[in-house]
Structure 1
């Protein structure tokens, strides 16, 4: 079977399951090369199938020896023309690797927003895991939320607020560099984005887990955020995404109060800019990454999701190099926000145009390789396997 990668605008189409298997293996090998570290042993990861969530799961399992429960909404294969999603295969190949080393790796491929999924996970913890959770990671990235009470479908938007933003972007499919105009969001769009991408569901998860008495003494929970810099503030920090991230901070305080009697803690982790499927569709963000990645790669500080997440848990959250700001947020994004890095990034972005955006002058090649890796393409160490659709259909998550 041949696997083909295509683009529709900046959206990746197609998946290479064997490439996904190799990419999971590569990330596992990276963590093992760093050695083991002391960390949590029973972990629930909500949004576990790709990017931040998958990297977190791999670091905690193969670095700290954690048993993990992953929740994600993915689609499996149906035919040679419909092979499902990369996250589907990431879940499977992670599970195979973890179980081969004697670790628990339970996958729930369900809607994380639903009450039923929360109850299914709680039942599993009580009846099968039979141990309490000491870390809950909320890493859900979804543009749509089905309200668990009303069934209403709510859509988020990536827009600015109270201002029209104009800036450079790239159409990856057409290989075109162009000027994008981003119109401001309506009040309803802002509210809907907070509903989908804010902290409400995180709080609902923690309330359900606490009420069910499945959280260990001293249990921690983290939620990944992104603040960015002045270079992307108009469309990110000051936009609808920024409003959603601010809501997560409000909910973190409520979760802290909820966990007081078990000495638990909620932490907002302000992560750095890394390549995710969302990175290509956030307005203007690909060009920001092209500038930033080139500068940080040249400085020796550029990180892929697995490098970043492993540093967060190994060195910061469970290590001896934590960096918190005045609001109690963990700040592994300090490398990105270093004034010299930002100054160099800004200078480079001003030089990027239609003739050079995909040249070695920029980090375009770095960005695209990492983006292709998300779907199992252009993966280091990849070797073709003779596999059929029947083989893929037989895989169990």
Structure 2
């Protein structure tokens, strides 16, 4: 037991502790916001990166609307006594409780998904309890990856390519958000290769091969990896930068998987899924993304800005054939049409052209963005009583 009083330890976008009840409440809110329905089949799914962002949304939408069975994988830290457990740890315990209450058969593994040991552990579990996988969802986001073949530790960077990047950004250091300037020097070839090694498609392909080697690919097996394109406003630091190089590799991996014998044998499919903008722990670390997202939220409003849960519902409907696949010319599933509509982007560019004036018009959007960042760690969540001792040492969920 570790009942203690905790307060947020925040520096800019970084918050180093999490509130267990606040984190759990965000999961319950997302769960309740997804309409429950019962489909006939209950596909087997493996979700890599289930504890945050689009991975969490895909897990909850899959459970609520399609009764998925299977395994979620994340790499989270337990309570140490000095620091709380990570928010993803607490979100997992909440998701496990909700799934159990609703009668779902889902197991959660806490491991470094990039490692060979993780692939062995998870495929053992899948083989023992579920059999062949219908869906593999790849939604991992990490700052580094150890290459299992060489032992080399690769570190990803967020940098432009070719020239330095200078742009407005949101600064939350003071009591009110203000405009600052971001300048990032271009990435080197080595940094680009390292970013591709972390965030590209190598590990995705290794997971598919690991399942195929154990004969755990179901007929018509489908695998998807989450990606992002975004606006021309942020393209220099994102789609045209080191991250963009990694995303291009991810998309090439989808093509390679689709033409591979192991997927052809099962009449399988591999897609990258272009999701829309979202406030995630990964996205908040990218310079200028906060300001862009605040402007986008201002333009679209609450109803026009599609949540991760709404996009996950749409993705599952496309994958399960309830609605047609929305594919672009590159064969990617698109969930981001609402973000990239011409009139939306035109208005965002107007705000971006004069960011100080734009922030005045988008003050509510900036406040919303920071509130969303805090909620990622369980802080500032409605219906949570802060200021009282809370149990922080929660056990990782085990099957009931």
Query: Structure 1 length normalisation: TM-score?
Result: 0.93
CA distance in 1 between partners of 2:83 and 2:280 (Å): 22
Spell out the pairing of 1:1-397 with structure 2 (5 A cutoff).
Answer: 1-32=4-35, 35-36=37-38, 41-79=43-81, 81-127=82-128, 129-174=129-174, 175-256=177-258, 257=260, 258-297=262-301, 300-314=303-317, 318-353=321-356, 357=359, 360-361=362-363, 363-383=365-385, 388-389=390-391, 392-394=393-395, 396=397
Runs of 4+ in 1 over 6 A off after TM superposition: none
What per-residue deviation string (whole Å, max 9, x for no partner) do you get for residues 52-95 of structure 1?
Answer: 1111100001111111311111001121x311200011111111
Structure 1 vs Structure 2 CA RMSD:
2.1
- Give 3-state SS (helix, strand or coil) of 2:304's partner: coil
Are residues 316 and 112 of structure 1, via their aligned partners in 2, closer, same or farther at CA, if it must alter by over 3 Å? Answer: closer
Secondary structure in structure 2 of the residue aligned to 1:269: strand
Write the distance in 2 (CA, Å) between the matches of 1:290 and 1:40: 38
Query: Given that residues 15 and 377 in structure 1 are in contact (C-alpha distance below 8 angstroms), is that contact kept between their aligned partners in structure 2?
Result: yes
**Equivalent position SS for 2:333:** coil
Distance between the aligned counterparts of 1:273 and 1:374, measured in 2?
15
Q: Structure 2 CA distance, aligned partners of 1:329 and 1:350? A: 31
Q: CA deviation at 1:182?
A: 1.4
Unaligned runs of 5+ in 2: none
Aligned length: 391
Give me the whole-angstrom Cα distance separating, in 2, the residues matched to 1:53 and 1:156. 20
Segments of 5+ residues of structure 1 without an aligned counterpart are none
SS of corresponding position for 1:157: coil
Question: CA shift at 1:37, angstroms?
Answer: 5.3
Change over 3 Å in CA distance of 1:36–1:169 after alignment to 2: farther
Inter-partner Cα distance in structure 1 for 2:64 and 2:15: 29
Supply the distance in 2 between the matched residues of 1:120 and 1:222 (Cα, whole angstroms): 21
Q: Structure 1, residues 304-340: CA drift from partner, whole Å, max 9, x if none?
A: 2222212222356643143111111111111111111
- 1:251-297 per-residue CA deviation (whole Å, 9 max, x = no partner) reads 11121123011011001100101000122210111111111111111
Following superposition, the deviation at residue 388 of structure 1 comes to 4.7
Q: Residues 351 and 221 of structure 1: is their aligned pair in 2 closer, same or farther, counting only changes over 3 Å?
A: same
For 2:39 and 2:353, how far apart are their aligned partners in 1? 42
